[in-house]
Amino acid sequence: MNKKLMAVNALVIMLVLMAFPQLISPQVYAVDVKIASISPQTKIGRVGETVTLIGTINTTNGEYRVWFGSVLVKSDFASRNNVNCTFTVPALPNGNYTIVLQDVAANVNTTSWFYIQPNSIVNVDIPPYPRQFQEGETAIKISISVTGGKANTVYTANITVKTPANETYWKIVRLSNTTNTGTGNASLLYPEDFGRNANTNYTGAYMVYFNRTLASGTFIIGLTDSVEYHRGDTVKIKAVDYSSLKGTNVTVTIKFENRIIDRFNCTVRGDFIEANWTVPNNALIGNYSISITPKPGSKKVSDIQAFAVPGFETKIAPRSLANENVANVLINIYDHEAGKTFNVTSSANGIANIRLERGTHTFTAYFKKVKVGEASINIPYVHEELNLICQLTNLNIKVVSEQGMAVQIPFVSLNLTITYTTNLDGGKIEKETMISQTDIEGSARFRSLLLNASYKVAALRYGKIFNLNNDTISRLEPKAWNNITILCPVKPLKVKVIDVNNAPIPNVLVEIQEVMGGPHYASQTNPEGDASFNCVLGVYTVKISKRFLLNATTVELFEEKTITIQCSLYNLPIYVKVVDYFGQPVPNANVTLEREGVYLSSKLTGVNGIAEFTEIGGTLTIKVYLADQNQPIHSFTCSVVAARDETNPIVIKLAKHVVFAGFLVETDWFATFILIVAALVLFAVLELARRKQTSKS
């Protein structure tokens, strides 16, 4: 018995442990920490390069950490359970490293790997753009470094410079001992550290190689001290290695788009040439070239170089009198210094971008080929937006009822026809139409309108123009906004309400609602069934109601109008006849009419079983109550849309009742009574027959 009890207890304990593992392990984490991908996919990179890690951790929105070897490179929080982070390869020696992703709360890790390969870096300390080195430069600093190398190692590098003449000069450099991070550095000067023949005598690109591999340390040597100039700037020219022409003159030629704009002589002094040239005040924006002839026999590359006169980035904002940017404005720019004209058009954001050089410029703005503004500005207009005020205005048209400004008319279509004469294209007469619609406040706005133009506006409701005598705008004023008001005519509307017998219905509510959501009017009919309104012309829905909707119609009101609405459901004769199982009239039954659960009227049926009502038709619920009963014996809902009288009443059949001897009895009781009576009659007949038979015997 004890063994059986112990076995049962052991089984219970096992079931409990299986059903409720949290009882023995209150904090269990599903190990779902993983690294899905590492970019670059090769998992090979150099110090400083960007690595992207994508993975998951178990803790929702939990903290995670990423180690690269022993270096913590990222600490952040997951987005739900997703990790997507970037970091740079830390400064570590060459080799393979473990990348660890840790779920901090769960204290669960997952790993991957990444290989750091050595990288050779060359940087040349060049002047900031647009400055450049010139021929004869003697101290160009070249910085060299190694990352991802072996720790505590001395590296030797062959740094080679190749000139535009394909001459090469090299230098063996010992980099400083790499630290425990595998990084080493060194620096040297060109041409000073590359032997006595190294030079900067040629114009062009000088290529730098690190151990015979092309590095990123290319630099440019030029004839001029810059590659960009503006009008009035001094171009400093220097060329070297002209000793064979010492004391003679050389020719400096300046060209613009293959057209010579200046040429002058310069005497060679010793081994070099130095000269200054001033960019003319009428210089055009574009690319120029400078060259020196003749070429000395010692120079393998001709001295020729390009430079630019780029102009200044100029933003022009044509603005209306309302201080709004205007799109599609043609701006004619006359450069007084160069005697040239440029054209630019403002874009969709109302800004025109162009580069202009120093000097006075006249800006002339044309909108729709009509002159709308002019200004003279001295360039440069640096880092600013040039506002060009244009004679353009805005127009606000408000449509209201002629009965009062308070009644604002929405959804009115406005066709604004503009006639104007252009200043370009020989002064043509142009005509155009702008279309808009009034908003819920009865206003429509037209922007960027010409002042020197004539305007006509057609106001339409439902396609009908209603302002024929008020369609001309005399002139627009030179201001931000011009405001005009258009009056919408009011038309009389008389509504006569009659019932099914054509008799007027007094004291019913007549509501008139403009179908587009405009004006709303309401009134009660007078004793003659009439209601009168003065409505803004339009199309209206007319509703007749008395506690609920009696009838509705739509009327177009563009002239004085009288309409008659018949409410055939109003004061409708409603006859309800209650009959029994055999179709016999049921007198004294209580018939009640309801509409949507609301009591209307009650009547008792007469000897003919009919209850007579005069009510508003529609969907009605008819309930029949017997005497002294709170619950209806019969209830149903029907639609009454026509008169009902004695010839066509609404018939309610009480199938479970029968009128017997002036009383209403249930059909089951009546059937039982009939069976009993029939049985008694049958018994009496049989008994009578038996007795007759006995007497004959």
96-110, 514-528, 644-658 — which one is most confidently predicted on average?
Answer: 96-110
Grouping H, G, I as helix, E, B as strand and the rest as coil, residue 424 is coil
Q: What class, spelled out in words, does domain 572-667 have in CATH?
A: mainly beta
Q: Is the dihedral of CA 396, 402, 406, 412 positive or negative?
A: negative
**Short-list 175, 180, 181, CA closest to 210:** 175
What is the residue whose two structure tokens read 């340390």? 217
Q: What is the pLDDT of residue 678?
A: 77
Would you state the structure tokens that stand for residue 629, as one six-digit string? 């009963």
pLDDT tens column, 305-361: 999 999 999 999 999 999 999 999 999 999 999 999 999 999 999 999 999 999 999
Q: What is the pLDDT of residue 636?
A: 86
pTM exceeding the 0.75 threshold for the entire prediction: no
pLDDT tens column, 410-462: 999 999 999 999 999 888 999 999 999 999 999 999 999 999 999 999 999 99
pLDDT tens column, 491-530: 999 999 998 888 999 999 999 998 887 788 999 999 999 9
- What type of residue sits at position 344? V
State percent of the chain over pLDDT 90: 66
d(CA 534, CA 524): 14
Q: For domain 119-221, give the fold.
A: Immunoglobulin-like (2.60.40)
What phi and psi values does residue 76 have, to the nearest 5 degrees? -160, -170
C-alpha angle with apex 691: 689 to 692, nearest 5 degrees? 65
What phi and psi values does residue 513 have, to the nearest 5 degrees? -125, 125
**Short-list 639, 620, 619, 632, CA closest to 589:** 632
From residue 215, alpha-carbon distances to 93, 224, 312, 421, 685 in Å are 21, 26, 34, 65, 137
Q: In the sheet that 139-147 helps form, which strands lie side by side, from edge to edge?
A: 119-124, 139-147, 184-191
Residue, of 697 and 548, whose pLDDT is higher? 548
Q: What is the pLDDT of residue 18?
A: 45
Direct distance between the N- and C-terminal alpha carbons of the chain, in angstroms, rounded to an integer: 93
Asked if residue 21 has pLDDT above 50, the reply is no
- What type of residue sits at position 225? D
pLDDT tens column, 180-237: 889 999 999 999 999 999 999 999 999 999 988 876 679 999 999 999 999 999 999 9
**Short-list 598, 665, 670, CA closest to 633:** 665
* Mean pLDDT along residues 149-169: 93
Is the Cβ–Cβ distance between 414 and 457 less than 8 Å?
yes
Query: Is the CATH code 3.40.50.1820 the one for domain 223-309?
Result: no
Grouping H, G, I as helix, E, B as strand and the rest as coil, residue 93 is coil
Query: Is the CATH code 2.60.40.1120 the one for domain 312-389?
Result: yes
Residues 6+ apart with CB under 8 A from 688: none
CATH architecture for the domain at 490-567: Sandwich (2.60)
Q: What is the pLDDT of residue 24?
A: 36
d(CA 214, CA 191): 18
d(CA 621, CA 662): 28
pLDDT tens column, 459-472: 999 989 999 888 88
From residue 637, alpha-carbon distances to 151, 612, 620, 649 in Å are 98, 17, 6, 15
Q: Give the 3-state secondary structure of 468-508.
A: CCCCEECCCCCCCEEEEEEEECEEEEEEEEEECCCCECCCC
**Short-list 372, 319, 322, 320, CA closest to 480:** 322
Q: Where in the chain is the domain with CATH 2.60.40.10?
A: 34-116, 119-221, 392-488
Q: For residue 462, is it left (φ>0), alpha (ψ between -120 and 50) or beta?
A: left
Task: Find out whether the peptide bond into 130 is cis, omega within 30 degrees of 0.
Answer: yes
Would you state the structure tokens that stand for residue 275, as one six-digit string? 């000269």
DSSP type of residue 279: P
* Mean pLDDT along residues 105-111: 95
Q: What is the pLDDT of residue 431?
A: 95
DSSP type of residue 441: T
Q: For domain 34-116, give the fold.
A: Immunoglobulin-like (2.60.40)
Average pLDDT over the chain, rounded to whole? 89
From residue 71, alpha-carbon distances to 67, 354, 367, 452, 612 in Å are 5, 51, 65, 74, 99
d(CA 386, CA 319): 10
Q: What class, spelled out in words, does domain 392-488 have in CATH?
A: mainly beta
Task: Find out whether the peptide bond into 118 is cis, omega within 30 degrees of 0.
Answer: no
d(CA 182, CA 118): 9
